[in-house]
């Protein structure tokens, strides 16, 4: 058989990262078996807090280079609060991967599934279907500890930098408008909201100025602006009105957790981090030490990130079977929830990681594509 083969660098990481990665690879493999037409080769790489505790290094030798050579990177979760560097910060080599491969576009879909928890009393909460697009290489994370870029860092004072550059911001806003265009073709609104704090910070006024400049090339997409504090409010009172929301790194970090909470919790929060040449896919949650090793983690955030990975590979390669496999996984999750056959413990249900994964695989095998 001459099927095209794609290499996935797999970093399971720490805590529940290991379980949800195993779950994702099982589901992705079931989708591949059903759709066919491509092969996946998994290359497991070691990294994380557990690895650091054993070896004093946060990644195994050549991990970063091997991740860069793969067609896509999948990451479970990295970090354990009990294991830290001498300066008190946590083990976070994944931030270095973002920087190294300039994974500027953090795509975080927020979608309400039937029978999953509805956190809002308003019934329109079941229409929530939006994307938080978080810039992921600069903003207030530019001087994150792992990069060692604090301009002032002494016993008396510490400063961090919020950095907005034109090239990254142009790429980010173009990504937002292209994503809205793709979503519009699938029946969404075709609307982008610029979330900023342009009333106070010059960096944010610059972010908004570039948003307007790039919007001109996408006349079929509507746009508006929302200050980040008002966005926190509006995500509670009218989240169903948003489509694509584009924002600076730290704002995206916080807003995406808030939005994830609206549709259940972190166990539903999938994530893609995309650059010009590379893509990294991971659930937006961490290693959840409070539930690790107990088969309680909801694997759906990771599984849906696996679908984002297949969709990315489809765009990158032009191979339509990959896009079909991605869609199949999304349909399987939707159908499982609709039939009340997916009941994660995270939402008070009776199904742990293994049971949810088994059911998604059953749906992948049987749902009508
Ligand atoms: N990208 C990453 O790898 C990443 C992201 C966030 C946090 N972290 C790290 O993870 C560790 C724990 O961080 P935290 O506790 O702040 O965040 P967390 O996301 O790990 O957990 C927050 C809460 O959500 C719950 N939760 C998270 N994922 C869940 C899932 N799939 N199913 C059910 N419940 C889930 C946890 O049980 C916990 O109560 C820290 O070391 C942190 O640095 C890593």
User: What b/e sequence results for 247-283 when a residue is b if at least 16 CB atoms lie within 10 Å of its CB, and e otherwise?
Assistant: bbbbbbbebbbebbbbbbbbbbbbbbbbbeebbbbbb
pLDDT less than 50: residues of the chain: none
Residue 289 phi, psi (nearest 5): -60, -25
Is ligand 1 within 6 A of the CB of residue 298? yes
**CATH superfamily, region 1-102+270-369:** Isopropylmalate Dehydrogenase (3.40.718.10)
Can 1-102+270-369 and 118-152+159-262 be said to share one CATH topology? yes
Beta-strand relationship, 152-153 and 279-281: unpaired
* CA 16 / ligand 1 centre spacing (Å): 8
Strand 191-196 to 244-247 pairing: parallel
Query: In CATH, which superfamily holds the domain spanning 118-152+159-262?
Result: Isopropylmalate Dehydrogenase (3.40.718.10)
Is there an atom of ligand 1 within 6 Å of 302 CB? no
Ligand 1 binding pocket includes 346 (Cβ within 6 Å): yes
Looking at residue 1, its pLDDT comes to 62
Which two structure tokens, joined as six digits, stand for 84? 């830290």
Q: E strand or H helix at 41, and its extent?
A: strand 39-44
pTM of the shown model: 0.93
- What is the length of the chain? 369
Element containing residue 116 per DSSP (H, E): none
Smallest CA separation from ligand 1 atom 5, residue: 286
* Beta bridge partner(s), residue 192: 223, 244
Alpha helices in the chain (DSSP H): 16-35, 49-55, 63-69, 93-100, 166-185, 202-215, 228-237, 249-262, 300-317, 320-338, 353-366
- Kindly give the distance from the C-alpha atom of residue 287 to the centroid of ligand 1, in angstroms, as a whole number: 5
**Cβ burial 198-226 (10 Å sphere, 16+ → b, else e):** beeeebbebbbebbeebbeebeebebeeb
Instruction: Report the chain's terminal Cα–Cα distance, integer Å.
Output: 24
What lies within 8 Å, CB to CB, of 186 at 6+ separation is none
Residue among 202, 191, 188, 307 at smallest CA distance from 248: 202
Q: How far apart are CA 322 and CA 285, in angstroms?
A: 25
Dihedral sign from CA coordinates of 364, 365, 368, 369 = positive
Per-domain residue ranges of the chain = 1-102+270-369, 118-152+159-262
User: Which residue among 22, 286, 297, 299 is best mutated to probe the pocket of ligand 1, counting the most ligand atoms within 8 A of its Cβ?
Assistant: 286
CA of 261 to the centre of ligand 1 (A): 13
Q: What is the pLDDT of residues 44-73, one digit of tens each?
A: 999 999 999 999 999 999 999 999 999 999
């Amino acid at each position: 058989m001459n099927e095209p083969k794609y290499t996935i660098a797999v970093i399971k990481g720490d805590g529940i990262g290991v379980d949800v990665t195993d779950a994702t690879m099982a589901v992705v493999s079931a989708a591949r078996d059903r759709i066919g037409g491509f092969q996946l080769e998994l290359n497991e790489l070691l990294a994380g807090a557990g690895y650091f505790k054993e070896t004093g290094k946060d990644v195994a030798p050549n991990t970063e280079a091997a991740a860069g050579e793969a067609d896509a990177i999948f990451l479970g979760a990295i970090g354990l609060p009990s294991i830290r560097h001498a300066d008190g910060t946590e083990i976070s080599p994944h931030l270095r991967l973002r920087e190294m491969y300039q994974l500027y576009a953090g795509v975080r879909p927020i979608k309400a599934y039937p029978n999953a928890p509805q956190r809002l009393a308003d019934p329109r909460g079941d229409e929530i279907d939006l994307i938080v697009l978080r810039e992921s290489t600069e903003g207030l994370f530019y001087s994150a500890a792992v990069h060692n870029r604090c301009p002032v860092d002494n016993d008396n004072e510490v400063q961090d930098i919020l950095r907005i550059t034109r090239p990254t911001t142009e790429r980010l806003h173009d990504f937002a408008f292209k994503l809205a265009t793709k979503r519009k073709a699938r029946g969404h609104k075709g609307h982008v909201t610029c979330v900023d704090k342009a009333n106070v910070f010059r960096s944010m006024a610059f972010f908004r100025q570039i948003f307007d400049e790039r919007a001109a090339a996408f006349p079929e997409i509507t746009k508006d602006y929302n200050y980040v504090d008002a966005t926190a409010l509006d995500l509670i009172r009218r989240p169903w009105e948003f489509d694509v929301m584009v924002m600076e790194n730290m704002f995206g970090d916080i807003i995406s957790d808030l939005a994830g909470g609206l549709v259940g919790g972190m166990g539903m929060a999938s994530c893609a981090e995309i650059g010009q040449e590379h893509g990294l896919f991971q659930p937006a949650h961490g290693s959840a030490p409070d539930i690790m090793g107990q088969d309680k983690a909801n694997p759906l955030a990771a599984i849906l990130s696996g679908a984002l990975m297949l969709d990315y590979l489809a765009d990158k390669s032009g191979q339509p079977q990959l896009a079909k496999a991605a869609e199949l996984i999304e349909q399987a999750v939707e159908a499982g929830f609709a039939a009340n056959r997916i009941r994660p413990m995270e939402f008070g249900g009776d199904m742990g990681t293994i049971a949810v994964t088994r059911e998604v695989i059953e749906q992948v095998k049987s749902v009508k594509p």
